Structures are given as structure tokens and as C-alpha cells.
Structure 1
Amino acid sequence: MGPKASEVRTSAPRTPLTRERVLQAASDLADRDGLDALTMRALAESLGVEAMSIYYHLPNKNAILDGVVELTFTEIAAGVQRQGPAQGDAAGWAAAVRERILGARRVLLRHPWAPVVIDQRKSFSPAMVRHVDGIVGIMRGSGMSHDLIHHSLHAIGNRIYGYVQELSDDGQAPPPGQLEQMQSFAPHLAAMLADVAHVDPESTLGWCDDQTEFEFGLDLLLEGIERRRIAEAAARSAPATG
């Protein structure tokens, strides 16, 4: 007589470990506990595997960081697809670029560690390149020359990815007491910094990179680029003289 059904030990099949599963777990871990918590040991524990199992799919932490950047920009691309085709013409290019960039920012706000990792990468991931290529295509559709687009991308800088950290490399506010010390040699700057406030952590990717500041800078740039686009178009259509 065989064993009773209640005596038969069963176990659920283990989910296979894949590169995609490791990267998603790494992104989730950084979202939950911060970038400093993303270690090979912690990642292995979150997956319920030994650390050596991870090395089979990704050889080191740099490969994991490269991978989570690619994963983040794949998420950005999915948002672009949901938006549908962009209006890349003279009338709608700026609004289309603005929405493309703000869409990237919405993703980064879900992954606030991402700007630091993006800045540290020594190469561009394919998904990052496709993101920029899409914006170049919109601008080109408006009639801009490659030269103007090139200059514009330099002006936009990291805003094209949805963040900006030029004013503070580490994204942190000045330490306590620094503003008081600054008043003696930079009174105008100290007064300004004391007066402005960034009180919306849900829309902030670092000190001086909250949503209001980000959109203000982006709109200022797009308005300036539009003036250059109009001037360039007028110069092309002007009759030749001489």
C-alpha cells in the first residue's frame, strides 16, 4: 500500500534564475533600500540563491549597474510607446520633446538612484541611445539642421534623460551652518539659497532638482531653441543677394 496523499512531500518548482530576473531584483532592491544596499550578497539573498549563481549571468557589479540602466531606459521606452507617435513638426516639436523628457523623469522618480548610476557609466546603453535618437528625430522633423540639434543637445544636457545635477554633484543640500558662513563672502547667493525651498520630495531627484526647477529650466531651453529654429528657417528662405 502506497503512502497517503497527505504524506507525500511536494515542493513548488523554483523559478529559473535569468539575467532579466537578476536585473529586476537589483532594481527593486535599489528602489527599496537605496543604491548602497545593492551588494552581491544582498541581491543573492533577495533572490534566494547563492551569490555565485548570479555571476553566471552577470560577471560583476558593474555589469549589474549597466544592466539596471538599460532596464530603466527600457521602461522609459515603454512609456513612449504608450504615448503613441510624437508630433515632430514645426508646430509641435517642443511639446513633443518636453513630454518625452518629462516621461523619462517620471520613470526616474520611481528609481531615484538612477541618475547617480547613469552619471557613472562609461558607455551608453542601446536603450539610452534610442531615447536620444527619438528626440533627435522629433527635432529633425521640425526642420532644424543637424548643427542646431547638436548645439541644442549640449545645452539640454542631462535633462534629456530626466534629471539635472549641475548645481550639486552629490545631489545634497548644503550642510548646516554653510549658508551662515557664506553670508560673509557671498551675501547675494546666501540670501537666495536661504529664500528658496524644495519641499516636495516626491518630485525631487536631488537638491535643486525638484519638478518646478526642472520644468522651468527645460521650458527656458526649449523656448530658446525654438527662437533659433525660427531664425534658421527664415535665413534659409531669405532670397539670395548679390
Structure 2
Amino acid sequence: MVSNGLSRGRVLEAGVALADEQGLAAVTMRGVAARLGVEAMSLYHHLPGKKDELLDGLVDVVAAQIHAGLADRPDGDDWRFDVRSRCLVARDVVLGHPWLPGLLGSRAQIRPGIYQLYDGVLGAMVRGGCTYRLAHRAMHALGSMVLGFTPELFSPEAGDEDASADALEAMARTLPHITAMVAAELHDPADPTLGWCDSQTEFEFTLDLLLDGLERQRLAEDASLRP
């Protein structure tokens, strides 16, 4: 249904665009309404759950974008290629929405589109010869990589360069090895990241490491079942 030229899809797309431009904090019913040139009350017909439904809807939009990208993805004979390409398609989408990881962590329930992404990866593993037992462990190992990002232990906020230098100096006195790693691994701010250490190279390195290890485990299990 359409009200005042609006639809649920149009409202959610405006919310995603607002989050992309100004960050998730800017996504309120009033903020989205202003972007659309309407009163906030006009949105309630499409989002009766108000802000919670709006935020859940943002997740749905991004999940749909990932599913659309997967539809154009070439199939491969190797299950690792299949899973790898799924993770990288998700990453391509999520890099355009860096607010998504934080939003996912704040939602009370996992959205159906997110479950479907994990189900697709699980199906690829089983079709490739993984048992459900191994696939279960693989899903734990892959974690949020299925959604195109990895949570990072170290994620300092961007801020005053002098303050960052002072923090590193303080760390050096008690955490010399971590400090040396931080100094060596600081990225170019222009890098397309979803977290301090989550560059494309590191994401793919971790993904390949996991998939190669899982393939060795799959082959070992397969050999143990042979007479």
C-alpha cells in the first residue's frame, strides 16, 4: 500500500541512505521523514513498530542486497570456492554500509534474511561433502565472515593524533609486543575497512586459512569412513 507517495520499501531505502551518509545515530523516524520531505507520523502506517521496525528494516534491505549479489555469482565445483565467493559478495555489499556490524549486534532477534545467508553457506558445505557435524563447527569458525566482516579485538576510535601517540606510549610500557604490532599494522585511512584490522587482505587471508583447514578435516573424515 502507498500513503502520501510512500511505501515501506521507499522508507527503508531512505533510512539506509541516511545511515550511509550520516551514520546510524542519524536514523530516527524524524530524520528519515525529513529526508523524504514528510511528517514523521506519515511513516507509522508503513512502520507501526516505529524505530525498532525501522532498524530491523535496514538489516532486511542490506540482506536483500547481498542475496541479489549472490544471484549473479558464478558457481564453482569446489565447495571452498562457493563459500569463499559468498563471503566476498557479502563483504562487497557491507563495505558500503559500515554501520551494519554495529546494528546487527544491537538487534534482539536475527532477521530471516540473515538466517538465509547462513543456510546458503551451510548448503554449499554439505553439497561439497562436509558432514553436518563438520559444517556446524565450520559455521562457528566462520562466524560473521558469512556476512562480510570480522569483529576485531583492537578497534581504537579515530581521534586526536596526539592522543593516539600518547596512548601508544603508555601501552609500550606494559604491552610492548602489542604496541609493536599496532605500530607496524596501522592502515592507511583510505583503506576500505570495516574495523581497524579488517582490511580486504586480512579478511581473505583468514577466510582462506579457515577453508583450507576445513577441507583437510573433511578429507580426513571421508578417509576414516572408507572400508
Shared fold per TM-score greater than 0.5: yes
CA distance in 1, matches of 2:16, 2:131: 38
Once the two structures are TM-superposed, the CA of residue 196 in structure 1 deviates from its matched residue by: 1.0
Percentage of pairs with the same residue: 45
Paired with 1:160 and 1:173, the residues of 2 have a C-alpha distance of 27
2:206 and 2:121 map into 1 onto residues whose CA distance is 17
- What are the ranges of 5 or more consecutive residues in structure 1 without an aligned counterpart? 1-13
Counterpart for residue 219 of structure 1: 208
Q: TM-score, normalized by length of structure 1?
A: 0.85
What's the offset of the Cα at 1:65? 0.8
The alignment status of 1:118 with 2:104, answered yes or no, reads yes
Output the amino acid matched with 1:43: V
Residue 145 of structure 1: aligned partner: 131
1:65 aligns with 2:42: no
Shift of 1:197: 2.5
Cα pair 2:152 2:197 within 8 Å, conserved: no
Per-residue deviation at 1:15? Answer: 6.2
Over the aligned positions, Cα root-mean-square deviation in angstroms equals 1.8
CA distance in 1, matches of 2:106, 2:156: 14
Which residue number corresponds to residue 106 of structure 1? 92
In structure 2, the partner of 1:94 is 80
Following superposition, the deviation at residue 45 of structure 1 comes to 0.7
Q: How does 1:202-213 map to 2 (within 5 A)?
A: 202-213=191-202
Contact 1:165 1:206 in 2 (8 A): yes
Give 1 or 2 for the bigger CA radius of gyration. Answer: 1
- Aligned CA distance change for structure 1 residues 79 and 171 (closer, same or farther; 3 Å): farther
Shift in Å, 1:189? 1.2
Q: Is the 8 A contact 1:179 1:190 kept in 2?
A: yes
Structure 2, unaligned runs of 5 or more: none
Report the equivalent of 2:151. 165
TM-score, normalised relative to structure 2: 0.91
AA paired with 2:5? P
Task: Quote how far apart the aligned CAs of 1:166 are.
Answer: 3.2
